[in-house]
Chains A and B, each alone.
Chain A
Amino acid sequence: AQTVTQSQPEMSVQEAETVTLSCTYDTSESNYYLFWYKQPPSRQMILVIRQEAYKQQNATENRFSVNFQKAAKSFSLKISDSQLGDTAMYFCAPFGNEKLTFGTGTRLTIIP
């Protein structure tokens, strides 16, 4: 079974700063995918970014990027130039054994 650890239950940063959310996981699979999902307050969960484990290049989506270290089984999310709309719960979710396994989440608050 996969396990996922998000060691930061809550974080807060000032608007425009950069913040990094950590995620470590354990999997026995050699080829897999990893996702970060975002759940804004009272709104639907949406995809932030995804990474294929066989790709060495870290995924980037505008202000969002990942630091994927396969050997260490680490998949952190970096948010640059943070905005008020980034306030949300963030979930790390590796895909393996035919399903997503979600971490317990990090509640991120952007302070004006």
Chain B
Amino acid sequence: DVKVTQSSRYLVKRTGEKVFLECVQDMDHENMFWYRQDPGLGLRLIYFSYDVKMKEKGDIPEGYSVSREKKERFSLILESASTNQTSMYLCASSLGAGPVVDTQYFGPGTRLTVL
């Protein structure tokens, strides 16, 4: 079974802090994704990566950056956390390289609260 893990289930940070959310997948998937989930808005794509060292902006990249130094690890970075970034963050991965239509496998999510 594919396993996608995220470093924390719950996280509380202060406004202005630099925040790292880590995601690791163990199935040698090429593609990785970061979403945020808010009530009434569904899931919105922040960033994605189809290859190590490659990253693309999603629909709402403002205030975020990502890092993918290794194939299995995709990190989401909040350079200076703000209260409007309080949300549930979901990481996902899928098998193929490029925009192929494989099933995405999701991690358990990190509920981030910015005070």
Contact = CB atoms under 8 A, between A and B. Distances in A.
User: For the side of the interface on A, what is the size category?
Assistant: 20 to 34
A55 to B, nearest CB: 13
Given A99-B58, A104-B40, A47 B45 contact: no
A46 B42 contact: no
Interface of A is mostly: strand
A71 B92 CA distance: 31
Interface residues of B, number: 20
A98 interface: yes
Given A44-B106, A102-B43, A105-B42, A33 B90 contact: no
A75 interface: no
Nearest to A47: B103
Given A45-B106, A46-B106, A104-B40, 8 more contacts: A4-B42, A37-B106, A50-B103, A91-B42, A99-B48, A99-B58, A100-B104, A102-B44
